[in-house]
Amino acid sequence: MAWQSLNCSGSTSAIAHKKNKIMKKNYFKGALVLFTALTVMSSCKKDSESSQNAGLKLNDAQAVTIVPGASAVAITDGGGTISRDANNTACQSYHVLNFFQGTINPTPADPHDRATTYYFNLFDNKGGNSGAYDLVFTGTANGDVSAVSGGQLAYVDKAYCDVVASDFSLTNVRTIIGKENTINFPTPPSTRYTGPGWYNYDFSVHILQALTGRTLIYKAVDGTLFKIQLESLYENGTPNAASAATNFPYFKFKYAEL
């Protein structure tokens, strides 16, 4: 009897010890599962945040949000201001005024030539650089506009607000869109044609005149379309003299995604 009691007591102790080991093992399993779940949740949250942030970028550049209907703000990575029409405005667009990059010399030896190249990001609503841009302005007075490599720049003879995506045509794509004509030039010839372009150059007064009724259409590498109207090359949109104005090149233009 004593032996049986001792044996029974020993068995009970062994069982309790075994249960204790099982409970500890299950505890550690549970802790491991909980730790893994928390790690996965944290990783998913970071991935989600990264995806959301990535959606705001183009060519690794942070997009600038322009509040519709608000006052114009300074252009990032460039001079001038940018604003956007209020929501529900007919022909809602972004408006750029006095855009320039680099140093502007107010009294250059040749006021019609700049040794500066301007870059602009339509997606990011800001100035660009040689590694990240949609449009580039080069040539005489930076008046020649071109698309980034892989993009396409076309023109259409149609009022800006009436332009739609279907107006883009490969037939009208050009490597550079700049001067249309040199007008009032001494004969011969009376008119010097360069175009298709976005402006005429009046030789008699040495003033650039933007064409009315001509709109540019930019097709990005991913197929996104923007319409653009270049309105002036002069500061605040107006030449500072009736002849041989010198307040350029400060671009005034508007654009919108189609």
SS percent in the chain: helix, strand, coil, step 5: 25, 30, 45
Phi first, then psi: give them for residue 14, nearest 5 degrees. Answer: -65, -40
Distance CA 80, CA 44 (A): 41
Query: Could you tell me the pTM of the whole model?
Result: 0.74
**Which pLDDT does position 107 carry in this prediction?**
64
Phi first, then psi: give them for residue 95, nearest 5 degrees. Answer: -125, 120
**Which pLDDT does position 195 carry in this prediction?**
85
Q: Are 137 and 251 spatial neighbours (Cβ–Cβ below 8 Å)?
A: yes
**Which pLDDT does position 185 carry in this prediction?**
83
Distance CA 211, CA 251 (A): 14
One digit per residue, the tens of pLDDT, for the chain of length 258 reads 333 333 333 444 444 444 454 444 444 444 444 444 444 344 443 333 333 333 333 444 568 999 999 999 999 999 999 999 999 999 999 999 999 998 666 666 555 446 579 999 999 999 999 999 999 999 988 999 999 999 999 999 999 999 999 999 999 999 999 999 999 988 766 667 778 999 999 999 999 999 999 999 999 999 999 999 999 999 999 999 999 998 999 999 999 999
**Which pLDDT does position 27 carry in this prediction?**
46
Q: Are 27 and 20 spatial neighbours (Cβ–Cβ below 8 Å)?
A: no
Residues 6+ away with beta carbon under 8 Å from 182: 191, 192, 194, 200, 201, 203
